[in-house]
């Protein structure tokens, strides 16, 4: 298998971490593929028409894109019901995954507004709106975190990747200040090999 990824991408990290959790990392060749939203990488277009990472060439040669699809494929390849539990627990895991993905989406949109748009053209209400989504999402995770214990499914993994990315890209945003439960939980899970080995880099 082959994974097109970018080291700073939290969605690519999610896939890489999932592969480690599932014992599949050694079966995946990593292809570092820089992506910039305003200038599509031509090398990626034949593999993913959305010109985004992550994209995974599956064992049959099919190219899958979007971290949700790729992670579920890897889980099935590893025998199923590992990161994606069955029954009622599945919907809880998927809901947490959506929460983490939403925080990452809002963070990326906020970063692009600050990084790529000239300062006189920046939309302050847009920036505040994206920050509110991040804050509300993390507050929801804080309320739940005390019940997570040692469980670690796709939802927990995604939220951990979101927290790690916020630290990486917005070092001045102290998400821990009012969220002691989430802080304590993240301190534990960040030591997992899947997360320790995939820390985002510039």
Comparing CA positions, the residue from 102, 111, 4, 96 lying closest to residue 51 is 4
Global model pTM greater than 0.95: yes
- Give me the long-range contacts of 125-132 (CB less than 8 A, separation at least 24): 130/106, 131/106
Q: What average pLDDT score do residues 152-180 get?
A: 97
Q: What's the pLDDT at 36?
A: 84
Between the alpha carbon of residue 79 and those of residues 74, 75, 99, 196, the distances in Å are 9, 7, 25, 24
Q: What's the pLDDT at 38?
A: 83
pLDDT tens digit string along 22-72? 999 999 999 999 998 888 899 899 999 999 999 999 999 999 999 999 999
Contact 59, 16 (CB under 8 A): no
């Amino acid at each position: 298998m082959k994974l097109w990824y970018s080291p700073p991408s939290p969605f690519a990290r999610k896939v890489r971490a999932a592969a480690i959790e599932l014992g599949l990392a050694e079966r995946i060749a990593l292809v570092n593929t820089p992506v910039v939203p305003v200038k599509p990488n031509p090398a990626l277009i034949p593999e993913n028409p959305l010109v985004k990472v992550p994209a995974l060439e599956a064992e049959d040669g099919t190219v899958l894109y979007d971290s949700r699809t790729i992670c579920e494929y890897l889980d099935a390849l590893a025998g199923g019901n590992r990161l994606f539990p069955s029954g009622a627990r599945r919907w809880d895991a998927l809901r947490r995954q959506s929460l983490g993905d939403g925080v990452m989406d809002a963070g990326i949109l906020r970063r692009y507004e600050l990084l790529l748009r000239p300062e006189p053209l920046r939309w302050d209400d847009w920036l505040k709106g994206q920050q509110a989504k991040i804050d509300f999402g993390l507050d929801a995770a804080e309320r739940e975190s005390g019940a997570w214990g040692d469980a670690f499914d796709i939802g927990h993994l995604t939220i951990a990747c979101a927290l790690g990315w916020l630290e990486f890209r917005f070092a001045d945003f102290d998400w821990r200040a009012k969220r002691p439960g989430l802080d304590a939980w993240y301190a534990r899970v960040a030591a997992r090999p899947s997360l320790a080995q995939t820390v985002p880099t510039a």
